Amino acid sequence: MYTKLNELLANPFHSILLSQTVKGAEVDFTKVMVKPFLSKNETLYQFTYTKGKQVTHENMGFDDMLNKVGELLENVFVQCQIYSQDNDYHITHFKNYKLRTQPATKKVETAAHNRKKQYVITEDEGADFLIELGVINKDGTISKAKYDKFRQINRYLEFIADLKDEFPKDRPVRVVDFGCGKSYLTFALYYYITQKLGLSAIVHGLDLKKDVVEHCEALARRLGYDGLTFACGDIKEYSSDLAPDMVISLHACDTATDESFFKGIGWGSKIILAVPCCQHELNPQLKGEQNKGILRYGIIRERLATLITDTSRALLLEAVGYKTDMAEFIDMEHTPKNILIRCIRKGKGNKDALNEYYSLKEQYGGFSQTLENRLKDNGYIK
Ligand SMILES: C[S@@+](CC[C@H](N)C(=O)[O-])C[C@H]1O[C@@H](n2cnc3c(N)ncnc32)[C@H](O)[C@@H]1O
């Protein structure tokens, strides 16, 4: 349905009206109107939530707008009217999705409608790796099946773009991507640094899976991406003569993320990025009399363990001299594994962060955590 909505909203539209709430919907509005407007040369979308005479507003970009409209139509409203430049669309989403199309009745303000999201890599620029990976069709359109991938790649590159000032300009940017898997994002990163920033890069992808690595290596050679190489191996065993400027691990499983952080810290890498997943290590260890309630239910316990694991990692990174923050990587609709831990080396350790880590650990019964163990064993923390 989100793909369908995206197609309908591909052309400029005047407004969207959502109405007729589903029986039992727990919301404090009865109608929502969405209108595009221009803000600093970017098109944003204003949501107007109405209940009687009460009106509230919310503004957001295209992707969030698309998700929000989809969510409202799926869970809250039965009717959705889209007044677009070409047609009026009337969607009914009550048990079944139905679409009616009529000639347009409202004039669209094109000035407010520079709708197309400014992606870092656009579909029509002919990025060779996107064509090879089947994300972009040969005619320059986005493959419907790979639309989410296209968005994920661009979202990822937006994060990378924010870090570009940290890259060395007088020598190749050195990057290692741990647990690179099929490497859509590794190829995207290489393309971005070399083609978009015009810098040279040495990017190395490492993964346990031999067949995947061979496939990626062959593709890199076919594309002539000379600075991009892949190898099969375990993060823990990996060593590099030249310290990478940036260490990345995206969805590497369980404590593989800790090993990636530890490697980055050991090299003194300027940037470490990780989107952790499968945080299993702490779950069975969490205890504490005062935590009995929150630890009682499996699903809550699992989520809490995930949050404590990632908070622990972030605090430990701060403790050894990285400025660390967290951001939503991609929206929850696509994967719940969506927290990006972003660390930039500043050099000076942070004692408060270390104390905060130890008190978190104590609060949950004194668990054993891989990154802490590695840092302690190697004298980075006490
Ligand atoms: C879920 S995939 C993610 C792939 C890619 N980074 C992405 O985000 O699309 C996780 C990958 O990490 C690899 N991996 C897990 N533990 C690893 C380790 N200790 N050393 C190297 N690779 C590892 C797995 O083989 C798998 O391909």
The DSSP string of 337-378 is --EEEEEEE-S---HHHHHHHHHHHHHTT----HHHHHHHHT
Mean pLDDT of 136-147: 86
- Is the per-residue pLDDT at 321 higher than 70? yes
Question: How many whole angstroms separate alpha carbon 287 and alpha carbon 120?
Answer: 45
The helix/strand/coil state of 290 is helix
Using the mean position of ligand 1's atoms as its centre, give its distance from the Cα of residue 373 in Å: 22
Confidence of residue 94 (pLDDT cuts 50, 70, 90): low
Using the mean position of ligand 1's atoms as its centre, give its distance from the Cα of residue 253 in Å: 6
Mean pLDDT of 356-368: 97
Residue 381: CA count within 13 A, CB half-sphere = 25
Q: How far is Cα of residue 170 from the mean position of the Cα atoms in its chain?
A: 30
Residue 246 bridge partners (DSSP)? 175, 271
Residue 176 has phi, psi (to 5 degrees) of -120, 135
Q: What is the pLDDT of residues 210-254, one digit of tens each?
A: 999 999 999 999 999 999 999 999 999 999 999 999 999 999 989
Nearest Cα residue to 12 out of 119, 138, 111: 111
pLDDT of residue 106: 87
CATH T-level topology, domain 156-377: Rossmann fold (3.40.50)
Mutation to probe ligand 1, out of 129, 151, 178 (largest number of atoms < 8 A from CB):
178
Is the Cβ atom of 253 under 6 angstroms away from ligand 1?
yes
Confidence of residue 58 (pLDDT cuts 50, 70, 90): very high
Quote the percentage of the chain above a pLDDT of 70.
Answer: 95
Given a contact cutoff of 8 angstroms between Cβ atoms, the answer to whether 259 and 370 are in contact is yes
Is the Cβ atom of 193 under 6 angstroms away from ligand 1?
no
Residue 4 has phi, psi (to 5 degrees) of -65, -45
- Segments of the chain assigned to CATH 3.40.50.150: 156-377
pLDDT of residue 112: 63
Which is the closest atom of ligand 1 to the Cα of 238?
A: 20
Given a contact cutoff of 8 angstroms between Cβ atoms, the answer to whether 176 and 206 are in contact is yes
Report if pTM > 0.95.
no
Mean pLDDT of 55-67: 88
Using the mean position of ligand 1's atoms as its centre, give its distance from the Cα of residue 60 in Å: 33
pLDDT of residue 165: 94
Is the Cβ atom of 251 under 6 angstroms away from ligand 1?
yes
> Buried b / exposed e across 257-295, counting CB within 10 Å, b at 16+?
bbbbbbbbbebebbbbbbbbbebebbbeebeeeeeeeeb
Is the Cβ atom of 153 under 6 angstroms away from ligand 1?
no
Which is the closest atom of ligand 1 to the Cα of 248?
A: 6
Confidence of residue 151 (pLDDT cuts 50, 70, 90): confident
Question: How many whole angstroms separate alpha carbon 320 and alpha carbon 326?
Answer: 17
Is the Cβ atom of 44 under 6 angstroms away from ligand 1?
no
Q: What's the first-to-final CA gap in the chain, in angstroms?
A: 53
DSSP assignment string, 50-119:
EETTEEEEEEE-HHHHHHHHHHHHHHTEEEEEEEESSEEEEEEEESEEEEEEEE--S---GGG---S---
- Is the per-residue pLDDT at 110 higher than 70? no
314: enclosing H helix or E strand: helix 298-319
Mutation to probe ligand 1, out of 129, 183, 186, 251 (largest number of atoms < 8 A from CB):
251
Mean pLDDT of 107-124: 72
Question: How many whole angstroms separate alpha carbon 312 and alpha carbon 362?
Answer: 12
Using the mean position of ligand 1's atoms as its centre, give its distance from the Cα of residue 358 in Å: 29
| Most confident option among 69-78, 109-118, 307-316 | 307-316
| Residue with CA nearest ligand 1 atom 27 | 181
